[in-house]
Amino acid sequence: MKNILFIASESVPFIKTGGLADVVGSLPKSFNKDEFDCRVILPKYRSMKGQFAEKLEYVTNFYMDLNWRSQYVGLFKLVYDGVTFYFIDNEYYFGGDKPYSGDTKFDIEKFAFFSRAALSALPILDFRPDLIHCHDWQTGLVPVYLNDCFQLGDFYKGIRSVMTIHNLKFQGVWDIKTVRDLVGLSDYYFTSDKLKFYDDANLLKGGIVYADRVTTVSDTYAEEIKMPFYGEGLDGLMRARSNCLRGIVNGIDYDEYNPETDKFIYQNYNVDNFRKEKLKNKKALQRDLGLEVNEKKFMIGIVSRLTAQKGFDLINHVMDELCQDNVQIVILGTGEGQYENAFRYFDWKYGDKVSAQIYYSEEMSHKIYAAADAFLMPSLFEPCGLSQLMSLRYGTVPIVRETGGLKDTVEAYNQFEGTGTGFSFTNYNAHEMLNTIRYAEQIFYDRKREWNKIVDRGMMRDYSWSTSAKKYEDLYRELLPW
């Protein structure tokens, strides 16, 4: 049996702010249980969902030295969906209203504590991992600590590590003097071949340097981050570690996202009957949102954080032109004020065509995936992206920019070969996007049989976690060859 430990800052169903939580919550239960015992360590946030907080089983507590400070570490446990989750408790660090405070210095201190506490707890848990799988900058210090003070005892010797980058934009950067004091590492680690990043310290960089393998969440993103535009200042390091770097595309939970059984949507359907049944979702959503109820009208869905990364400046730029077409546009999400207000304005200006839902609701997101004809995702960069996978699953045709995971998971429609699962454009250009949307409209209105075949192919693709899990299993076997 190979023992695998995930250390991460969030996981469904306990706490979620983004796609990282989906990966950490879904991947461990997808591994072959006969070969891998995969467990997870998380912080015990006060903001964790109440129904789970009540079920946690107290294990023990101890005190741990972190540089010049002695810190309390509480340890809790819960078995969920066949996976053992451990929780590190410390009210000072994890008692806030949100998992991340937004104060980078405090978050660095918090996750340095968490990384060290997770490693310190292992001998008590009666679980020695053969491999520790770390996720994003919050756990970047785990491979560094493993190389440092935890090498002294036999217990930790030979533990391998994998670092997964979910989004290279977030790195945990602060000035060296402060970080050195917070994390308890010697000057040896703060040179430019280790944690030093220009004049600062960078926790993610430490993880990338010291991990045995580095992964990211799609093949294309693994190539992109070796280039300056996508590399966020670490492209040189990514090139240097390219022999240890690979992309493994994320999956989605096919039980949760299943149009045949989804309790959130108006009408269930599947790949065999979507031609008749999917339309009922569109008409019901049109009615609920006060749009013209017309099953023949081309409906574009957008479910997203409203940020510049997601390509909303492109959409803003051509929204007036797009609204001259015979379309309806439904937006769900929150984010930067400029985009929230822009969509409110377009909702007011084109009330019969645009519905802007400036909030987030899991239920409404499922309704949009099921109701829309097409799903728009013109991201500037997208390490993996999950929304396009959900839209494929629901027979909603993705229109995407060819970047990161979008390029890897959406095959562009080719009318001559009769292939493809969506529509894509290459350059980050508003009118290139608009032309692609209009090409999709043309196929939808004038070649409906072709459109339905695109839907068919998309719904037949398998982007479940079992596919991704097999690739991670191969990676673990490389590092644990017995």
Tens digit of pLDDT at every position of the chain (482 positions): 999 999 999 999 999 988 899 999 999 999 999 999 999 999 999 999 889 999 999 999 999 988 778 999 999 999 999 999 999 999 999 999 999 998 999 999 999 999 999 999 999 998 999 999 999 999 999 999 999 988 877 899 999 999 999 999 999 999 999 999 999 999 999 999 999 999 999 999 999 999 999 999 999 999 999 999 999 999 999 999 999 999 999 999 898 899 999 999 999 999 999 999 999 999 999 999 999 999 999 999 999 999 999 999 999 999 999 999 999 999 999 999 999 999 999 999 999 999 999 999 999 999 999 999 999 999 999 999 999 999 999 999 999 999 999 999 999 999 999 999 999 999 999 999 999 999 999 999 999 999 999 999 999 999 999 999 999 999 999 999 88
Rounded (to 5) percent helix, strand, coil in the chain: 45, 20, 35
Residues 6+ apart with CB under 8 A from 98: 17, 47
Residues 143, 141: Cα–Cα separation, whole Å: 6
| 2-251+466-479 homologous superfamily | Glycogen Phosphorylase B; (3.40.50.2000)
pLDDT at 18: 82
Residues 467, 473: Cα–Cα separation, whole Å: 10
Same fold, 2-251+466-479 and 274-462: yes
| 139-178: burial string, b at 16+ Cβ within 10 Å, e else | bbbbbbbbbbbbeeeeebeebbbbbbbbbbebbbbbebee
| 324-342: burial string, b at 16+ Cβ within 10 Å, e else | eeebbbbbbbebeeebbeb
Decide: residue 197, CB within 10 A, 0-12 exposed, 13-18 middle, 19+ buried.
buried
- Domain locations in the chain as residue ranges: 2-251+466-479, 274-462
For the record, the structure tokens of 412 come out as 């562009």
Q: Is the peptide bond before 13 cis (omega within 30 degrees of 0)?
A: yes
pLDDT at 49: 86
| Among 259, 232, 104, 257, residue whose Cα is nearest residue 167 | 232
Q: How far out from the chain centre does Cα 83 lie?
A: 20
E-strand stretches of 350-438: 354-357, 374-377, 397-401, 423-425
User: DSSP letter at 306?
Assistant: B
CATH number for the domain formed by residue range(s) 274-462 = 3.40.50.2000
> Please, what is the end-to-end C-alpha distance for the chain in angstroms?
10
Q: What are 38's strand-pairing partners?
A: 4
CB 244 within 8 A of CB 218: no
For the record, the structure tokens of 208 come out as 């990338």
| Among 282, 289, 269, 146, residue whose Cα is nearest residue 206 | 146
| Among 251, 257, 178, 172, residue whose Cα is nearest residue 206 | 172
CB 259 within 8 A of CB 265: yes
| Among 323, 318, 305, residue whose Cα is nearest residue 430 | 318
CB 181 within 8 A of CB 148: no
Residues 82, 29: Cα–Cα separation, whole Å: 7
| Among 405, 392, 140, residue whose Cα is nearest residue 249 | 405
CB 90 within 8 A of CB 110: no
